[in-house]
Chain A
Amino acid sequence: MPDIRLPAEAKFKTELEALAAHDDKPRPPGWALSPRAVETYILGGSKPVGGVTITPKYVGDKGLIQVCIATLASDRALMLVGEPGTAKSWLSEHLSAAVSGTSALIVQGTAGTSEDHLKYSWNYALLLAQGPTPEALVPSPVLRAMRSGKFARFEEVTRTSPEIQDALISILSEKQVSIPELGEVVSAQRGFNLIATANTRDRGVNEMSAALKRRFNFVTVPVVEDLEQEIQIVTKREAELRNDYQVGVPPPEELSRILLTLFQELRKGVTKDGKTKVRTPGAVLSTAEAISVLFNSSILAEQFGGGKVTPHELAASLVGAVVKEQEDDVKALREYMETVAKGRTGAWKDLYSASKKLLRG
């Protein structure tokens, strides 16, 4: 059975190879590609490179990607911040894959992340048998990245405890980890850097210290505000998911448009024409959430529906996505349906009647 999800470097292997083969620009030490080629890889190319079309991995501001790449070539680490679901981890994965050839050196930041995850731990059976030897050492992804001169990724920095954040400071400023048990100091090889992500909504959980912030350049990944752009992202990603999971039927374009119009209007609190105010629900209405709603409804249609995605399936997945925890969100969605969707034509009407049943009570 094939893996359901391939890492970026495997999935886009041919693109990366083609870019590397035709890359005549200077590469920073330890980099697999030149900054220009990395940019092309992320944003897609207008013409094929060595016969391979470079697909866009991120749709949005070119300047933002350039700031990311320019940062990574320096001794500062990169911090991607933004609302949940704005493709921060996605961007971090692709940047590592393009520059270091691997996106696997990753630490997931949680409340339980310990210093072992950041530095090293031991294989205790070997440790007891042989004492502290290099073989008994279990290096962390960060340590492996330092040794091999690659990018490490650190997800959700603000979810880790202040102790861990402090440990990160020393790694980022000294660029080395000492292993006193072995009497050894591991220094980072050229090409090492770190890409961290943090949610703006989590800022309150464990606010980063000024000292840690100083080790990073910050790039805010924005919420997509352009409707056409978001439709493009969502339909593309949803098709990829269907392909990866081998399930679902393609949803019609009209429904994607309706879904994203609804998402953008609820997010902004006002309709596209600027005439009607709507209540913003507490749940996160990210692009990622829209992708999941669309994918979900396509599975619903295939498995339990008539083999075609209709407003009925869309409404069913939508309610689950928008109404997560708060009762108020039901009201917000119901209000939206009554004040906005009801008055519109086409599939909006069906969406309205389908959601009416679901939202009752």
Chain B
Amino acid sequence: MDLDLLSRVHLFPVRHHSPRTTAVLGRWLERVKPEVVLIEGPCDASDLIDVLCDAETKPPIALLGYRTDDTPGSALWPFADYSPEYAALRWAKVNRARALFIDIPVGVSLGMDRHDETAGVESEEVPEGERHEHLHDEEPLTERFAREQGYRSFEELWEALFEAPDWTPEGFRPVLLAWADVLNAGPRQDYHRWRDAFMARKVLEVVASGVAPEKVAVVAGAAHIAAFLARDVEPALEAKLPKAVPCAVTVIPYSFPRLSEQLGYGAGNRAPHFYQKAHEAQCDFRRATLEVLIDFAAHLRMRGFTASLSDVLEAYRLAMTLADLREKSAPGLDELREATVATLCRGDATHVDAFLWKSVVGHQVGRVASRIGKNSLQAEFWRELDTRRLPSTDSAETFTLRLNNTVEVGSSVFLHRLRVAGIPYATLAATGQQRASPQEAGGQAALTRVRESWQAQWTPSTDVALVEKIVLGDSLEAVTTRVLQEQLDAAKTTGAAADVLLESVITGCPQTMAAALRACDTHAATDVDLPSLASAARALSGLVAYGTSRAHTDVGDEAVAVLCQKTYSRALLRVRESCACAPDALPSVVEALRTLHEVALAQPLADKAGWLAEARELMDSSTVHPATSGLATGLLYLAHELNEAEVALIVGLRLSLAVAPDEGASWLEGFLGVNALVLVKNREVVKALDDFLTSIDPERFRQTLPVLRRALGVLGTTERRYLMENVVAVRQLGEKGRAVKTVLEEKDTAKLKDMSAELGKVLDDLDDLL
């Protein structure tokens, strides 16, 4: 490799996303007038340069590389309007020069196992091309350097030394290279050196193809250019690059908020909107400061705070004086912030943090030329967003869907499909008082909802997911169907199959619905698990009640009704054996019994008589877990199947001396678990309880205490008061009680008298005053 030749091509060092670099680069390209512009970027994305530069494309945008071998993995190379690489591409297009990317291919980037390098950095979100420089941020080399120079942060140093001064190309190149020397002072990562070698070869290949080296310009990170100039390139290292993994690359819209999240030397910047303004003003940072201050004042006024023009002027003047005092050529973000706090915000930084700062970050979302051929999922997504008027910016918006018309039901189906497919866009927001957890978003709860509150926000990861999911199907319905089918294949119980069934209905996927119905049927025949059967019965009963209209299916409600009946009967068959369970399985069995009871009362198709018979069996049985007997008794009493005398009798039996106290206590727990208020209001029941408690032998009492505590712990204050009242009545403590009451009342009367005396005095005083 002829490294001398390398130094004969025009090399321009850049920092990514720097408006000043972009401005200087523009002037430099005008002077050099290269025929070929070589740019740091994945070389297999060179075909997309046309799309990147299309008149329809509006940054921020990003190249998205993703694996196509079913292994999750993707990387982004974002571009803003003010990114020098992007400016170089545009320049080449306007001046009819050839533009090419020269960095390692996407597949190689994705193939790098860099967990050891960037421990803790998510491989999905951090742009590949930039991640390596992230390391400098973790070793606080740049920050330390900035502090030594008297700046509070590296970003401040960068703004003051590189962005604000009006550099010429001649002046700028050396300082940026000097900066690269600071960066390269430590040992360089192997990975960079491999890339150096790769890029050097690419450059030389272009020269070898017959282009004069004087007609080639290379635009790449300052560290790489510095290495080229120092001839510190080891061609053999290229062989160390990993093998490429199968992948594809496309262009997606990006957004300012995401760009501001990428921090560190090479990755992004604090306030993209501010830099965009500076870029538009030909790097006049004073003008950008003034524009932002005017924005701030408008924001403050919109929210009802006073912010006058004189405040804006004063803020601008203060920012300029501060910049002067700090020997900067123009104000930067730090001056902007301090001036805003001191003037517009009257010394209080809360408004700045709460909403003003968001406007220097910006929430713009880029646009990609239509001819990139969005994949069908992206196309569908954007079409739906457009026709349904759903939020399409990178800031969270909340809206409510009323599910009483086909349009909004359609929106709901769309959003649920995204949820099931795992495409991050919308989450079901809390409705009223209760917070919806992810599990509650779908399933039974979704079926019964008449109104849904959603919070939606488009982020680049939405498009990343849309691109990645294309392997699962070419429409949202197909992807959702595939995901649900996989869930169905993994479902081992009736309950799990029924859950998939519900999701199919909510997401309007008739195909999986039919499959899930069949699966429910098959599973139910062999399923011995009562909780699973019960939840399936509830799901089916819900479907019968609320219909399957969302699914537009030809399976019809009839099939569901039949299956519902069948499943319910099967569940009943399993009741008795399930109730003779071990204590650790108890909670789910109890839940299942409640569910069955609920369904029996609500769903006319369910075998109510059968359930009541089962419940009676449970009530009388001595082989099942006592808690389930207690529960059955409670449920029957509540359903008016037992009268008070019967209940009292059973309570007496269950809690008699002959029964071991821990069993009694356990029974009690199940019994009180139903609706304690109704039970403790029954004097007969309370009497039986009281007798039971007093009859326990002191020795045994200590052992039973934990279970008893748990059983009585479910009682709230109201229940306790009724319980106490009834205990008082049962023990005929009423007389004493009344006595106590009278004393209390007398005390109150005395107090009231005192108070009225005081009140009178105060009134007298007032009279005097008046």
Q: Does A309 contact B (CB under 8 A)?
A: no
* Total residue contacts A-B, CB cutoff 8 A: 57
In the bound complex, do residue B346 and residue A76 qualify as a contact, i.e. CB atoms below 8 Å apart?
no
Shortest beta-carbon distance, A19 to chain B, in Å? Answer: 16
Chain B 292-337 interface residues, beta-carbon cutoff 8 Å to A? 306, 308, 310-311, 314, 317-318, 321-322, 324-326, 334
Q: How many angstroms from the CA of A67 to the CA of B340 in the assembled complex?
A: 11
Q: Is A73 an interface residue (CB 8 A)?
A: yes
Tell me if B348 counts as interface (CB < 8 A to partner A).
Answer: yes
Q: Considering the complex, which residues of chain A in the window 118-157 have a beta carbon less than 8 Å from any beta carbon of chain B?
A: none
Chain A 58-90, CB within 8 Å of chain B: the 1/0 string?
000011001101110110100101000000000
Q: Is the CB of A74 within 8 A of B314?
A: yes
Chain B residue, CB-CB nearest to A63: B338
- Complex partner residue of A66 from B308, B311, B325, B347, CB under 8 angstroms: B325
Structural contact, B325 and A69, CB atoms closer than 8 A: yes
Most A CB within 10 A of own CB, among B308, B318, B325: B325
State whether A220 touches B317 (Cβ < 8 A).
no
Contacts of A213 in B (CB 8 A): 346
Distance of A62 Cα from B147 Cα, bound (Å): 12
B603 is an interface residue with CB less than 8 A from chain A: no
Residue numbers in A under 8 Å from B552 (CB-CB): none
The smallest C-beta distance from B322 to any residue of chain A, in angstroms, reads 5
Residue numbers in B under 8 Å from A216 (CB-CB): 346
Interface membership of B349, Cβ < 8 A: yes
Residues from chain A with a CB closer than 8 A to the CB of B308 are 214
Instruction: Indicate if the CB atoms of B334 and A63 lie closer than 8 Å.
Output: yes
**Chain B residues within 8 Å of A66, by CB:** 322, 325-326, 338
Q: Is the interface on chain A under 10, 10 to 19, 20 to 34, or 35 or more residues?
A: 20 to 34
Cβ of A67 to closest chain B Cβ, rounded Å: 5
Contact of A187 with B by CB under 8 A = no
Contacts of A113 in B (CB 8 A): none
Asked if B325 contacts A39 (CB within 8 A), the reply is yes
Number of interface residues of B (CB under 8 A): 24
Instruction: State A70–B326 Cα separation when bound (angstroms).
Output: 11
Can you name the residue of chain B whose Cβ is closest to the Cβ of A70? Answer: B321
Question: What's the Cα separation between A216 and B345 when bound, in Å?
Answer: 11
Contact B314 A220 (CB under 8 A): no
- Chain B residue nearest to A82 in the complex (CB): B347
A81 touches B310 (CB 8 A): no
Answer yes or no: B152 CB below 8 A from chain A CBs: yes
Please tell me if the beta carbons of B317 and A74 are within 8 angstroms of each other in the complex: yes
Contacts of B318 in A (CB 8 A): 67, 70-71, 74, 217
* A35 to B326 CA separation, bound complex (whole angstroms): 10
Residue of A with least CB distance to B343: A217
Question: Chain A residues with Cβ under 8 A from B325's Cβ?
Answer: 35-36, 39, 66, 69-70
Let me know if A71 and B342 touch, CB within 8 A. Answer: yes
Chain A positions within 8 Å of B347 at CB level = 79, 81, 218-220
Is there contact, CB below 8 Å, between A218 and B314? no
Nearest CB on B from A204, distance (A): 15
Per-position contact with A for B336-373: 1 when CB-CB < 8 Å, else 0? Answer: 00110111011111000000000000000000000000
B616 to chain A, nearest CB (A): 53
Identify which of A35, A73, A218 contacts B346 (C-beta below 8 A).
Answer: A218
**A79: which B residues are within 8 A, CB to CB?**
347
Partner of B349, one of A36, A39, A210, A220: A220
Q: In the complex, which residues of chain A have a beta carbon less than 8 angstroms from the beta carbon of B321?
A: 70, 73-74
Note all chain B residues with C-beta closer than 8 A to A63: 152, 334, 338
Q: Which residues of B from 248 to 286 have beta carbons under 8 Å from A? A: none
Contacts of A39 in B (CB 8 A): 325
Q: List, in ascending order, chain A residues with CB within 8 A of B311's CB.
A: 214
Residues of B within 8 A of A62 (CB): 152
Q: What chain A residues lie within 8 Å of B339 (beta carbons)?
A: 67
Q: Which of B310, B341, B342 counts the most chain A CB atoms within 10 A?
A: B342
Q: What 0/1 readout, one digit per residue, does chain B (468-492) give for beta carbons within 8 Å of chain A?
A: 0000000000000000000000000
Question: How does the 8 Å CB contact mask read for A216-242 relative to B, with 1 for contact and 0 for none?
Answer: 111110000000000000000000000
Contacts A66-B326, A217-B314, A218-B346 aside, 17 further interface pairs with beta carbons under 8 A come to: A63-B152, A63-B334, A66-B338, A67-B322, A69-B325, A70-B322, A70-B325, A74-B314, A74-B318, A76-B343, A81-B347, A210-B306, A214-B306, A217-B342, A219-B342, A220-B341, A220-B347
14 A-B interface contacts by CB (under 8 A) = A39-B325, A63-B152, A63-B334, A66-B326, A69-B325, A76-B314, A210-B306, A217-B342, A218-B343, A218-B346, A218-B347, A218-B348, A220-B348, A220-B349
Chain B interface residues (CB < 8 Å from chain A): 152, 306, 308, 310-311, 314, 317-318, 321-322, 324-326, 334, 338-339, 341-343, 345-349
- Which residues of A line the B interface, CB within 8 A? 35-36, 39, 62-63, 66-67, 69-71, 73-74, 76, 79, 81, 210, 213-214, 216-220
